[in-house]
Chain A
Amino acid sequence: MAPTPYSRPGVGYCTPAAQAEIAERPSAAGGASAGNTRNVTLSVNGEQHRLALEPNAILLDVLREELGLFGTKKGCDHGQCGACTVHVNGRSVNACLMLACMQEGAEITTIEGLARSAGYEQGQHPIQEAFLEHDAYQCGYCTAGQMMTAAAVLNDRAVAADAASVNDAMSGNICRCGAYKNIREAIETARQRMQGES
């Protein structure tokens, strides 16, 4: 069978007609076969997963489709919305622009493992509680990404605690519902609680 140049048809940006036109073209990868998998061990939320992955597998897709961790969302697939934010070695990053095979040896945390990664063995991370209390969402699609960035920002000494600095640090997480006001309040509440603990 001829190798398919795309594992998924949608490229998000093009019109359907343009997509069809692109899909018709021969792949420059030519002979690269779709069965070109390699064995990779990923450490996600403290668990080791041995996976057979294509070189072009994107971390976001692997988390959702291979590991069933659906908390991390795909919004734009191009780094423009922040819905896919996870932590890699404690830093917030956009999983839609990362190759899964390059993450061997890294510690990956998704929203499912956030509380545990921060030492809250039972229950939720303060940022999760605060989002609930402040109703910091409407549809909820951006929420996991918002909380992952917020949790990292709250731990980042380079980001000052004033409103302008926090807004700026959070600006890569778009909320189409416009829940920003409550999101900001939730972050402030979480900050106070986390400071109270330490």
Chain B
Amino acid sequence: MRQFELESVEKVDQAVASQRDQRRDAFVAGGTTLLDLVKLDVMTPERMVDVTHLPLKRIEKLDDGRLKVGALVTNNELAHHELVKRDYAVLSEALLAGASTGLRNLATTAGNVMQRTRCPYYRDPAMPCNRREPGSGCAALDGINRNHAVLGTSNRCIATHPSDMCVGMVAVGATIVVEGPQGSREIPFEDYHLLPGDTPEKEHDLKDGELITHVILDAPRAGGQHYLKLRDRASYEFALASCAAIVELDGDSVASARLALGGVATKPWRAEAAEKALIGQPATRENFERAAEVALADAVAYSHNGYKITLGKQAIVRALRDATARTTATAA
């Protein structure tokens, strides 16, 4: 494994001051993405900054009803937190559907937001990849692209965003708080990850020197919640298609809905048009199928991943069905 320097910081401002160039200086939290990719020579930092001693380990209910999650809260701690299980079940389920017990004990909230694609061409420095090495080409376009995205792709990159947690966060709604040389800044969760477009190497809206300090979850939404993850084997595997759904009923009709997709898109994907299509409609299988059609209407299939369009729709229908079943209908 390549050599690098390692430094430890105790305060947020020290962390911010210690990082000038994201490619050269890497924050290390759980290390489960970073060390994996450094071993593969995909990430090549010269310095690592150990942020695990920063005071960002709390989960705190705010006066306005939102939940403030420290960047260093582990994926297991977040999934099993009393308020998360009660008010954000879809997020708890998404977290527990990801990785393994040991990895979730290490993996942090900020690290999960920042995790990299599992595209095998990205992970292999001997292959062309615009995301890893801008301008080198995309081997997946004409390669083995069975696991690749059908939504949000470009002719430069079709890599899937792998996170389950982020899909749960898009569904519940959240804000990312970063601290940088110019002070603190808030970014709506949905705007944080970027579409590949012409610059797939620009994966997120984090500037040099900026550190994620918190993710703030929106105040709890009414309704039933469910996360469904479909994969090659039933556990310890990334999603081929996943869906986070929150459904609120008014009598038999949908009063409000949130839908987010994983495994099929280049970023954690909000299916907003499909949400709108559901509102005011009876919560029936036919209407769920119609919403699923809307959600995947712009999908583009490549040589090996056409099945994901069907699978994605089925994930939506099933997640909506199960979220609805958990709704205690508000009396009309």
**Residue positions of A touching B, CB distance < 8 A:** 3, 5-8, 11-15, 17-18, 21-22, 27-30, 32-34, 36, 54-56, 58, 77-79, 82, 85, 91-94, 97-99, 101-102, 149, 152-153, 158-159, 167-174
What is the chain B residue whose CB lies nearest that of A15? B126
Instruction: Give the Cβ gap from A152 to chain B, nearest Cβ, in Å.
Output: 7
Known contacts A18-B124, A22-B126, A172-B236, A32 near B96 by CB under 8 Å:
no
Query: What residues of chain A lie closer than 8 Å to B102, measured between beta carbons?
Result: 79, 82, 85, 92-94, 149, 172
Residues facing A in B247-276 (CB within 8 A) are: none
Interface size class of B (residues with CB under 8 A): 35 or more
What is the chain A residue whose CB lies nearest that of B32? A97
Instruction: Give the Cβ gap from B154 to chain A, nearest Cβ, in Å.
Output: 26
- Contact string, B29-52, partner A, CB cutoff 8 A, digits 1/0? 011100110111100101010101
- Interface membership of B116, Cβ < 8 A: no
Instruction: Give the Cβ gap from B115 to chain A, nearest Cβ, in Å.
Output: 12
Stretch at the interface among B3-11, B59-67, B198-206: B3-11
- The docked-state distance in angstroms from the alpha carbon of A10 to that of B110 is 30
B40 touches A11 (CB 8 A): yes
B31 touches A18 (CB 8 A): no
- The docked-state distance in angstroms from the alpha carbon of A55 to that of B126 is 26
A28 touches B2 (CB 8 A): yes
A82 touches B40 (CB 8 A): no
Query: What residues of chain A lie closer than 8 Å to B40, measured between beta carbons?
Result: 11, 13-14, 78
B124 touches A93 (CB 8 A): no
- Interface membership of B136, Cβ < 8 A: no
Query: What residues of chain A lie closer than 8 Å to B1, measured between beta carbons?
Result: 6-8, 11, 56, 58
A32 touches B124 (CB 8 A): no
B6 touches A99 (CB 8 A): yes
Known contacts A56-B4, A168-B235, A82 near B100 by CB under 8 Å:
yes
- Interface membership of B221, Cβ < 8 A: no
Residues facing A in B204-232 (CB within 8 A) are: none
Instruction: Give the Cβ gap from B15 to chain A, nearest Cβ, in Å.
Output: 14
Known contacts A91-B105, A102-B28, A29 near B4 by CB under 8 Å:
yes
Known contacts A22-B41, A55-B3, A158-B80, A97 near B31 by CB under 8 Å:
yes
